[in-house]
Amino acid sequence: MTNDQVYAAGLLNRALDPSTQPPEIQDFLRAELDLLREFVAAGARLLDVGCGTGRHLRMLADRISLGVGIDYEHSYIAEAHGQVVDPRVHFVTADATLVPLRSTFDCATCLTNTWGTMTDKVGVLDEMRRLAPLAQTRLLSVYSLDSIPPRREWYRRLGHSIAEETDDFLMTNGGFRSEQFSEARLRDLIGDCTIRKLAKIGYVATF
Ligand SMILES: C[S@@+](CC[C@H](N)C(=O)[O-])C[C@H]1O[C@@H](n2cnc3c(N)ncnc32)[C@H](O)[C@@H]1O
């Protein structure tokens, strides 16, 4: 299986069930929500890349003027549509390297190590830069190397034991591949950016 097939089989919904999440993962997810409330200004136009079932846009719906979520897994987009009825929020089934939009946004996010599961990372950054053209308005949250032990346990609980582990990625026996990053590798991939720790197991990069 490849990541798109694993997602199509519904991994995300099980992963977002807090009962599957080790405490370090729960802390990271909470820290992300706090960060987003700071990062997204009232009235902003926000693009969320790899939005899944739309939980971040749902949380921010009443403070933004426009929200668009992009995800290539159509069943997640359909679920997001069903859960958010706010007319300011839209969901589109599309690949993050080829977003079918021409208008621009005040900010763009790619959260919860979504970027670490994407194949063409530089292509995704290019689309984020095109769609949110101002520097420091694009935000990625990713896992650091410290995330490996809790992720091993989380994936095991989801029925995905680890088949291969390197400094750069974990690959499960269910075919799910998820990368983690050192600060140096993040800088290499992103170029000019600001990097901060996020909880004990992650980084947030703005560029
Ligand atoms: C780790 S999940 C996170 C989902 C959501 N951001 C959240 O935190 O709830 C990663 C998401 O990225 C989507 N995804 C992965 N690669 C993608 C791509 N190339 N284009 C669009 N979506 C992609 C998957 O379908 C999945 O919903």
Model confidence over 110-160: pLDDT tens digits?
A: 999 999 999 999 999 999 999 999 999 999 999 999 999 999 999 999 999
Q: What is the mean pLDDT of residues 66-95?
A: 96
- Ligand 1 near 55 CB (within 6 A): yes
What band does 203 get if pLDDT is binned at 50, 70 and 90?
very high
Nearest to 13 by CA among 92, 94, 108, 83: 83
pLDDT at 85: 87
Question: For residue 183, how far is its CA from the centre of ligand 1 (angstroms)?
Answer: 22
Share of the chain above pLDDT 90, in %: 98
pLDDT at 132 (0 to 100): 98
139 touches ligand 1 (CB under 6 Å): no
List, for residues 3-16, the tens digit of each pLDDT value.
Answer: 999 999 989 999 99
Distance in Å, CA 134 to ligand 1 centroid: 23
Q: CA torsion sign, 142 to 145 to 146 to 151?
A: positive
Please count the other Cβ atoms lying within 10 Å of the Cβ belonging to residue 73. Answer: 23
- What's the rounded Cα separation, in Å, for the pair 6 and 205? 26
Q: Is the CB of 121 under 6 A from ligand 1?
A: no
Task: Tell me which architecture the domain covering 3-144+183-206 has in CATH.
Answer: 3-Layer(aba) Sandwich (3.40)
CB distance 118 to ligand 1 below 6 Å: yes
Per-residue pLDDT, averaged over 196-204, amounts to 98
pTM: 0.97
From the CB of residue 182, how many other CB atoms can be counted at a distance below 10 Å?
Answer: 13
CA of 125 to the centre of ligand 1 (A): 14
